[in-house]
């Protein structure tokens, strides 16, 4: 009987650990490391404990074949990015070193990208080469708090401005 309880305990711990998505990791880090659980600068490599050189953020319903084409490397997944979710994929030397999803009501990334891609203009995704972010605590219309991340880079960046069904996204350069 004790063996069964021990096995159930291990399974429960494993399930709880598996629920620690990127949004929870970032929020926990901000709440323990930033003054007043508020606005601060973070290094995403430190928060996630993974070294990477490029981050991709894909929007809801982006298909694995689109992800593969955008990243320029083979990518296979049987998980669809569901409604109101985003997928973060971190690459190091063109290899996936981290992958996770988060819900848009707990965290967001400002729609700024380090690269404009005219081939996949209708697919929502962002590319960030810098691991540095300004985390800003905000409040939604219902009084709930969430965190937004603004990428910090000294290289040219672009904001996704308008989406047109026929033409896709248009971009404007971010003035620093």
What digits encode the pLDDT tens for the residues 121-170? 888 899 999 999 999 999 889 998 889 999 999 999 999 888 888 888 88
Q: Are 146 and 53 in contact (CB under 8 A)?
A: no
Q: Would residue 4 count as lying in a domain?
A: no
Tell me whether residue 94 is in a domain: yes
Domain limits at 98? Answer: 21-173
Residue 159's SS3 state is strand
Beta bridge partners of 132: 43
Residue 122 lies in a domain: yes
DSSP 174: P
Report if residue 55 sits inside a domain: yes
Is 14 domain-assigned? no
Alpha-carbon span 176 to 172, nearest angstrom: 12
1 inside domain = no
Whether this prediction's pTM lies above 0.85 is answered by no
Domain count, the chain: 1
Chain segment 55-79, per-residue pLDDT in tens: 999 999 999 999 999 999 999 888 8
Show the tokens assigned to 105: 């009501």
Is 9 a domain residue? no
Rounded CA separation 175/115 (Å): 15
* Residue 67 buriedness (CB in 10 A; 0-12 / 13-18 / 19+): buried
Answer yes or no: is 149 within a domain. yes
Q: In the beta sheet, which residues pair with residue 90?
A: 55, 98
3-state secondary structure of 84: coil
10-36 residue pLDDT tens: 443 443 444 579 999 999 999 999 887
């Amino acid at each position: 009987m004790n063996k069964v309880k021990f096995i159930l305990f291990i399974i429960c711990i494993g399930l709880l650990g598996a629920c620690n998505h990127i949004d929870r990791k970032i929020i926990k880090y901000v709440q323990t490391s930033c003054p007043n659980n508020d606005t601060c600068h973070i290094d995403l490599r430190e928060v996630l404990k993974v070294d990477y050189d490029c981050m991709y953020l894909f929007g809801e319903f982006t298909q694995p074949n689109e992800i593969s084409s955008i990243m320029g490397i083979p990518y296979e997944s049987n998980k669809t990015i569901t409604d109101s979710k985003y997928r973060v994929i971190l690459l190091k030397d063109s290899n996936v070193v981290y992958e996770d999803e988060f819900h848009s009501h707990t965290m967001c990334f400002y729609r700024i990208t380090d690269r404009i891609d005219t081939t996949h203009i209708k697919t929502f995704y962002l590319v960030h080469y810098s691991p540095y972010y300004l985390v800003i605590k905000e409040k939604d219309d219902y009084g709930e708090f969430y965190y937004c991340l603004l990428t910090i880079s000294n290289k040219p960046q672009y904001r996704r401005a308008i989406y047109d069904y026929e033409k896709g996204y248009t971009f404007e350069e971010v003035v620093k």
